Amino acid sequence: MTTDATQGAPRSRWLVYTLLFAASIAMLYPLLWMVSSSFKPDAEIFASGSLVPKQFSLDAYVRGWSSLRVSFGRFFWNSLVVSVLCVAGNVMACSLTAYAFTRLQFAGRHFWFALMLGTLMMPQHALLIPQYVLFLHLGWVDTVLPLVVPKFLATDSFFVFLMVQFYRQIPRQLDEAAAMDGCGPWRIYFRIILPLTLPVMATAAVFSFIWTWDDFFAPLIYLNDMKSYTAQLGLRTFIDSGGQSDWSALFAMSTLTVIPVFLVFVFFQRLLIEGIATTGMKR
C-alpha cells in the first residue's frame, strides 16, 4: 500500500505540472503571437495562425523606429523620464507620509489616514475633469508636469497604505533608543527607518514604474504635442482608423516596449516578492 501511494504521488505531481504548463502556454500565447507577428509582413499576420514566420524580416523594427515624424526613440526617452520621475516621487513622498502616519503624533492623525484610505475607493474618472481644469489653469497641459508633480505629493494612496503596513512591523524601541541618543524625527527616518524598509521601497518602485510605463490614459489627456508623446501614445500612431494601419510595425514597437518592464521585474524580483510577502505580517 505504501508503494502504491508513493507511485501515485509522482503521477499526480506530473499531472499538476502538465496542467500548469498548459495554462502557462495559454497565457503566454498572445505575447508569443505579438512577438512572432513583429517579424512577419502585414499580409501574413492575419492570414496564418502559425507562430513561426514564413518570411522572417526585421523591416518592421526599422520602419517602426524611424518611419514616423518623430523617432520612436524619442517616445522611449519620454516614457523613461516620466517613469523615473514618478518612481522617485512615489518612493520619496509616500515613504515620508507613511512615516508620519506611523511614527509621528499630530492632531487628526487617524482621521487623515482614514480619509486617505477613502480615496482608494474613489473612481479615477470622477477626478478627471477637476484635475484637468486645475492643470489647465496652471498652464501645465501639454507638459509632463501633470504626470509627475502629483507623485511628489503622495497622491498614490495604495503605496502609502503598503508602506504603513510595513512600517508598523518595525519596533518602536529602535526609535526610542535613537531619540535617547539625540536623534530627531528626520535622523530617525534616514538612519533607522529608511535602511530597514528596502523591500517595500523596491515593491513600490517596481509597481510605480510598471504602472507609469504602461499608462495610456493620462498621457492621452494631457499630452498634445507629438514630440512629448510617451511610448504608449506612440504605439497609437501606427493605427489609422481612416486609412491603412501598419500592424507589423505596431507589433514590433510593442515588443520593444515590453522589454523595460520585463527587465525591471527580473532584476527586482527578489525584493518585490520579499516586500509583498512581509507587508502586513505581524512579528
b/e per residue, 146-180, with b = 16+ CB within 10 A? bbbbbbeebbbbbbbbbbbbbbbbbeeeebeebee
Q: Residue 211's pLDDT is what?
A: 93
What does the alpha-carbon distance between residue 251 and residue 254 come to, in Å, rounded to a whole number? 5
Residue 283 clears pLDDT 50, i.e. is over it: no
Q: Find the mean pLDDT for residues 214-242.
A: 87
- Ranges 155-159, 233-237, 238-242, 260-264: which has the least confidence: 238-242
Q: Residue 81's pLDDT is what?
A: 95
Residues 6+ apart with CB under 8 A from 75: 229, 230, 231, 233, 234
Residue 115 clears pLDDT 70, i.e. is over it: yes
In the chain, domain spans: 62-278
Top pLDDT among 84 and 270 is at: 84
Could you give the C-alpha distances from 104 to 1, 29, 92, 274, in angstroms and in order?
63, 50, 17, 26
Mean pLDDT (the chain, rounded): 85
Q: Residue 281's pLDDT is what?
A: 47
CATH number of 62-278: 1.10.3720.10
